[in-house]
Each structure stands twice: as structure tokens, then as C-alpha cells.
Amino acid sequence: MMRKLPPLNSLRSFDAIARNGSISKAALELKVSSSAVSQQVSILEDWMGVKFLKRTSNKTSLTREGVEFANEINSVFDTLEKNIFHTQKKVNHNEIKLSIIPSLATRWLINRLPIYSALYPDYSVMVEASFDLVDFTKKELTIAIRSGAGSYSGCQSEKLFDEYITPVCSPEYWKKNKTSLVEIGACSLLADHTFGKDETNLNWTSWIAREGIIPSTKIQPIQFYTDSNLTIQACINGEGFMLGRSILINEELRKGGLIEPFKEKQVSDWPYYIVYHSINDPLRGALRSFIEWLKREAAKTPGIVR
């Protein structure tokens, strides 16, 4: 039996007007002209025999029937959107689409991915390096790895690992600028603005204060970076001291490109978390295997807090 429904485009146009409050804003959302949106609503009104819009020379508003119908349509579209998203997420269990911060991708994940591919040859991984928080309802992503507080709305999060924070520099810089933590403010300090906020121990002033140290010179970084990869490279180049995150600098410490001149270390205020949409709980397929693999790799990573 054929469904007795008005044209879908007319419903979409009406819903867009109701949500945006105007025909022009609805047209922008739908990427069509205002006249096209208005015409679609007229088609809907004719089909249903009900007036939904009050049209004046300078304003368009909903009638009482329009408000009631808008609420019903909005609820239907919300349900449809959720069901579509749920179906999309269930379709392909063999593909992982990962969003990860660039520095962790470069300095931790990339060299380990071949291990996963060898263990699970039927599963594929697509990596997107990004700092942005992920809206899983709008992006075709399966999982994210982030550094932060670990609470993300609508998502499940599991701690991947903690790490240490300590000042580091190149061996060459240390030879020329041997100093104490009390006097480190007189040296060149590099600031990594990739992570954290001023009150976390990823900030020079906060880190020094938590050691109970009163510096002889004001703590004032001279270079600022928005990518940890850049901060690390500048430090390797002998530009000054940086607050090194043990996971990210472990390889450079092993190679000798960086050294830890001081014994003082602090556990980072911003651990790394695995994040995925709650709709994927319980875990299954490739996502389950990938998260279990991430945890195994994390457990044997040098530089983690044990």
C-alpha cells in the first residue's frame, strides 16, 4: 500500500524554516534560493490543506498549526537521523577511521600500525591527524585519541596512558647553558600550546610552582608553538628548554637528540584517552580489535606512568 506522504523536499524546507526562524536562513542551510524554499512550503500547504506560515512584507512566522506540525516533523527527523547514523555505523565493521592529534600520530602510532595490519589483515585503518574535538554524528569517524580531561559528551572514553612532564633540552644546549631549576627562567624557554591550559602542569609557570620553586627570573617563554612536533624539533635544534611529554620525546631521548637534565618529573594533568561514540558500545568487529590492540601497545610503551 502506497504511503500518503507529502513531497520530502517540502517537509525538509518547512523543517528548515521552523528551526532557523526565517526563509533566508533556511535557504542558506539547504543551499537553494529563498524563492525555492517558499515554493516548497506552498506545495506542502496545498497538499495538506493547512496554512503553516504567516507571510508579511518584512517577516515570516509560523501559524499555530505550523508550530504544532514543526514540533512533530522535528521529532520525526531527529529519529530518522539517529537511525540512519546507527545503520551507517553498523554497516562496515572492518574499517577503522581514526582521528588522532598529529604529534601522537607521528611519534607513537605510525611505527606501530604495521603491527596491527599484520595481526588483522582483513581490517583497514584510515588516520586523520587533527586537533579538533570530534562530532561523531557529523563526521565519518570511528574512534579518536585525544589528550585532555577525558570527559566527552555522548561518548565513551578509556584512558590509554599517563605520561611524565619534565624539562628537556639538546645535549649541545645543556653544555652551553648548564643551570638549575631556580635559574631556568634566565634560559630560553619553548612553550607548547598544543595541549592544556595555563593552570595545568603543561605550562612552565605551573610546573615550576608545583615543584615548590621560586625562580630567580620570571618564567617567560620566548618561542611558542601550536604543534608539539615543532616544539620538539626546535628543542632538538638547540633553541632552548621545553617541557617534554615522555611519550612524545621517548624516541629522541633514546637517540640522544634530547636529554633530561633534572630528576624532577610530574605526571601530566592531561592523559591520553581513547574516545568513541556511545552507540558503538558494546564494542564489536574492527573497533573492538583496534582498541584492544591500542591498549596492548600502550602497556609496553616506554615513558608511560606505571
Sign of CA dihedral 73, 79, 83, 88: positive
Same domain, yes or no: 168 and 263: yes
Q: What is the 3-state secondary structure (H, E, C) of 34-90?
A: HHHHHHHHHHHHHHHCCCCEEECCCCEEECHHHHHHHHHHHHHHHHHHHHHHHHHHH
Same domain, yes or no: 14 and 70: yes
Same domain, yes or no: 64 and 35: yes
241 domain residue, yes or no: yes
Same domain, yes or no: 168 and 257: yes
Show which of 35, 56, 85 is a domain's final residue: 85
Q: Measuring CA to CA, which residue among 301, 302, 230 is closest to residue 260? A: 302
CATH number of domain containing 61: 1.10.10.10
Same domain, yes or no: 169 and 259: yes
Same domain, yes or no: 255 and 221: yes
3 domain residue, yes or no: no
Show which of 54, 85, 116 is a domain's final residue: 85
Alpha helices (H) in the chain, listed in sequence order: 8-20, 23-30, 34-48, 64-91, 102-104, 113-119, 171-176, 204-210, 228-236, 246-255, 285-299
114 domain residue, yes or no: yes
Please report the pLDDT score of residue 104 as a whole number: 96
305 domain residue, yes or no: no
Same domain, yes or no: 140 and 275: yes
Range of the domain at 168: 164-267
125 domain residue, yes or no: yes
- Distance, CA of 268 to CA of 192 (rounded, Å): 14
1 domain residue, yes or no: no
| Cβ atoms 258, 249 nearer than 8 A | yes
CATH number of domain containing 99: 3.40.190.10
Q: Measuring CA to CA, which residue among 63, 115, 108 is closest to residue 289? A: 115
Same domain, yes or no: 43 and 60: yes
Q: Measuring CA to CA, which residue among 290, 99, 263 is closest to residue 181? A: 263
- Distance, CA of 74 to CA of 145 (rounded, Å): 33
Residue with cell 514540533: 71
| C-alpha cell of residue 128 | 586523520
Show which of 85, 104, 137 is a domain's final residue: 85
List, in order, residues 6 or more apart from 184 with CB less than 8 Å away.
167, 208, 215, 219, 241
Number of structural domains (the chain) is: 3
Mean pLDDT by 10 residues, the chain (306 residues): 84 90 88 90 90 82 89 86 63 79 96 95 92 75 89 89 97 97 97 79 95 95 94 98 97 97 96 89 86 96 92
236 domain residue, yes or no: yes
Same domain, yes or no: 279 and 262: no
- Distance, CA of 263 to CA of 139 (rounded, Å): 43
Please report the pLDDT score of residue 272 as a whole number: 96
Same domain, yes or no: 46 and 124: no
306 domain residue, yes or no: no
| Cβ atoms 225, 190 nearer than 8 A | yes
Same domain, yes or no: 64 and 121: no
Please report the pLDDT score of residue 91 as a whole number: 42
- Distance, CA of 92 to CA of 140 (rounded, Å): 11
Same domain, yes or no: 120 and 211: no
